Structure 1
């Protein structure tokens, strides 16, 4: 056992300088490239079981740097809105103070919808779900009256329920109700949703249900309200460590596909009968409605290019002003109108890559706005393979070229102790600049972080080898100098003895 241990120690000591440092550099290059590929496993390949072990041992090894870099791309170049297709009617603190606390009676919500519909919007989407009956409805109040108030109870039951009033308002305008998918059952969840059909285009073997986020339960509005609305849509967002970077345009609910709010709003606004999904065996390619086609990730998610909340404040209208008739009709005419909660303690606040906290309804508005402007961010499936091929090819070229003795450049790098580090930093900065330009002008999310990490590790191995070689050279020079000094001293001693012997010999003669 000791012999094997000693052999391993000797091997590890020789490894950094073996083959002029190439062996160490190749090991680092291939090892980190494999780990990078595993951190973003392609959808077109079956996921191996051992990836779960890798995720436990090395959580977010490359994922976190990748996401942080993409966030910085957005902070450097946030989207600048060029149009305002969306108006948000905010049930804010002003509205709650004037109208009353939430939840409102459904007939009051119907009044708000009627006030918006009077200005002819293209569609109205409710970032609200109502899974339970309104307890303030006349029939519910009648049920709680004592027997002595039988005549009053009969009169209340003769009135339309608040659900019926809201359903009439939803039916009278192009309305979309929101819902949220769950992977577990709760007291109010269901297993189905009255959603529009989705037509799948693709080659044989293309089944988007195998790729999209899939759930079995949904928290949705009452069936009576669903039947009255012109569309049902999911409000789910994708969270990465608490930040919204992507949003699903389609989801799986049981054995069928359901649309997200943005794409369903466009379907209802354009009077389209269905949502279209374009897929391949590797997953979803795009989601379309009418003449709009949105590129997606293989799981049906869309990368969001965020605009700063400071540039979108003019899209907000207080529900109080709408109810009071104090809003210009042009704020709604032919617009996609979203109704949601922004009051303190009521809204679901989300973090964006820009470092801002925004209401959840703002996320939906940004999706619609991005689709309207066709300002898409993309990270297609082939890009990961392209990055991996680039990293390995470029790394191998550096490993082959740098230690060569017949290259003036390599000689300069070896003679300059920090030359490999300077070279690595320069190459990585050029790589980062290229990725920034691809983001700004092409909307491509290229993983410069992984290129930087792996490239720096490879160049760093040569830097370490250069330091080891330099130390070894210094030790050899010191030993040689010591030997030379010792030899000269011995020579002087011999020469002195010989001179003394010659003097003694001459004197004796």
Structure 2
């Protein structure tokens, strides 16, 4: 067994020493660069079959490191809100204790919408969907009464249904209903929903955006009464929200996310504009505002800490009791959502904070309002790859030269390679972080570090193997 081990160790050492390690270093450089590129293949170039197979074989090779690095960018430099265009009406524990458990009868929700509308907001978005009839509605209650209560049943059927009451409130206020995208059918799911027109300028991007076949939307009567419908879905990557789609595909049509639909209604626009080319969506716009996006129609969200946004929350109980300041709602974009214990949809952000789902929607609106976007355009990936290849080839050409100044430096300073390596990687990280702060660009310092470190390691590995082999021999040699 020991003989085979020594034989393989010698072969590996000889392979690394061949042509001063350059062939192996070239193989490592090109191989890791291809794996890195396959993990984030540009959408405007058809992906070869072998690249797709490589990505399936090594699905998280560089993606996880990249995401964790981008999270660290945000944790070191979170967004500080400069404005507060959004007010969140939270159906919190205090509201549930006062008004009653969730779900409420629809007429009670109508009362809340009427109270908010009286405060003159620009738009009201409901992070709530109601796909089934209200079982507390008078006609439903009448259907459950015994035959001996025929007179009472007739009186109840003469009353308007709770859906009719809520529809009247939705129609009278600038309201938007949310809907949940599904990739599988359920009892209450449908394949379509009412939505405002989306005008595509350029190439049809339907094949590039996130697509769903089913949606959990509110009842058609409620959809017809509201002034807009929008998707509430967010993209999760390993359980963390990092990117938010502004437009999505439902079947064979484009539908808006809640933030863009809120802006459309607030500006009085009849449609949402999508600007796209062969590589995918370039921007999504409403009126004169355009939001630069990733090719999939999504944006990287620069999160603010929940500690800096708590003052946007108002308890629904206070609104129903009429004890709120009207200025917190006048000309604001109002979101209504659940935050009560056991009924809220909690999400983990890139900052590592657990926040209500409605907070994520609010931060998207806030980001668009301030015009502070994070971007990772296609050209940036190519620029990173070009830098890695150029610097990697420079290392392969220069480092093995025994008469170079670098070789002389290493002979004079034994720990010089470690010091230089640490310095260069810190410089790389600092430059990428500065670009993030200054321009909002997400540069993948992690891939640069991993690949170039592996290339450098090809030249130091023979020496390490030789040292390990020599140490082992000395340990086996008896003294004297």
Query: Per the shorter chain, which TM-score range?
Result: over 0.9
In structure 2, what is the equivalent of residue 58 of structure 1? 58
In 2, distance between residues paired with 1:472 and 1:314? 64
In structure 1, what is the equivalent of residue 93 of structure 2? 93
Q: Secondary structure at the match of 2:195?
A: coil
Contact 2:13–2:465 under 8 Å retained in 1:
no
In structure 2, what is the equivalent of residue 378 of structure 1? 375
Q: Secondary structure at the match of 1:394?
A: helix
Question: Which of 428, 449, 457 matches 2:454?
Answer: 457
Q: Does 1:251 align with 2:248?
A: yes
In 2, distance between residues paired with 1:115 and 1:168? 13
Unaligned 5+ residue runs, structure 1? Answer: 1-5, 475-509
Q: Note the aligned Cα RMSD (angstroms).
A: 2.0
Shift of 1:466: 4.3
In 2, distance between residues paired with 1:86 and 1:142? 41
In structure 1, what is the equivalent of residue 409 of structure 2? 412
The ranges of structure 1 where at least 4 consecutive aligned residues each deviate by more than 6 angstroms after the TM superposition are 6-10, 469-474
In structure 1, what is the equivalent of residue 264 of structure 2? 267
In structure 2, what is the equivalent of residue 480 of structure 1? none
Contact 2:179–2:218 under 8 Å retained in 1:
yes
In structure 2, what is the equivalent of residue 297 of structure 1? 294
Shift of 1:468: 5.6
Shift of 1:423: 2.3
In structure 2, what is the equivalent of residue 27 of structure 1? 27
Shift of 1:251: 0.4
In structure 1, what is the equivalent of residue 357 of structure 2? 360
Correspondence list, 1:140-151, <5 A: 140-151=140-151
In 2, distance between residues paired with 1:440 and 1:265? 28
Question: Which of 407, 427, 430 matches 2:427?
Answer: 430
In 1, distance between residues paired with 2:51 and 2:133? 46
What is the number of residues matched between the two proteins?
467
Report the more deviating stretch, 104-113 or 455-464: 455-464
Contact 1:170–1:228 under 8 Å retained in 2:
yes
In structure 2, what is the equivalent of residue 279 of structure 1? 276
Using structure 2 for the length normalisation, give the TM-score. 0.93
In 1, distance between residues paired with 2:469 and 2:104? 80
In 2, distance between residues paired with 1:358 and 1:127? 14
Correspondence list, 1:185-196, <5 A: 185-196=185-196
Contact 1:420–1:463 under 8 Å retained in 2:
no
In 2, distance between residues paired with 1:37 and 1:462? 24
Using structure 1 for the length normalisation, give the TM-score. 0.88
Shift of 1:412: 1.3
In 2, distance between residues paired with 1:428 and 1:262? 39
User: What's the CA shift string for 1:393-443, capped at 9, x where partnerless?
Assistant: 011112111222442233212554443333222211111000000001110
In 2, distance between residues paired with 1:469 and 1:140? 83
In 2, distance between residues paired with 1:467 and 1:11? 14
Report the more deviating stretch, 424-433 or 103-112: 424-433
TM-aligned CA distance change 1:151 to 1:430, over 3 Å:
same
Q: Does 1:220 align with 2:227?
A: no
Correspondence list, 1:323-338, <5 A: 323-338=320-335
In 2, distance between residues paired with 1:238 and 1:470? 49
Q: Secondary structure at the match of 1:134?
A: coil
Shift of 1:39: 1.2
In structure 2, what is the equivalent of residue 105 of structure 1? 105
In structure 1, what is the equivalent of residue 348 of structure 2? 351
Contact 1:421–1:459 under 8 Å retained in 2:
no
Shift of 1:252: 0.3
In 2, distance between residues paired with 1:341 and 1:332? 18
Q: Secondary structure at the match of 2:206?
A: helix
TM-aligned CA distance change 1:97 to 1:183, over 3 Å:
same
In 2, distance between residues paired with 1:398 and 1:16? 15
In structure 2, what is the equivalent of residue 308 of structure 1? 305
In 1, distance between residues paired with 2:264 and 2:434? 34
Q: Does 1:78 align with 2:67?
A: no
Contact 1:180–1:219 under 8 Å retained in 2:
yes
Shift of 1:381: 1.1
TM-aligned CA distance change 1:104 to 1:463, over 3 Å:
same
In 1, distance between residues paired with 2:180 and 2:142? 32
Correspondence list, 1:134-145, <5 A: 134-145=134-145
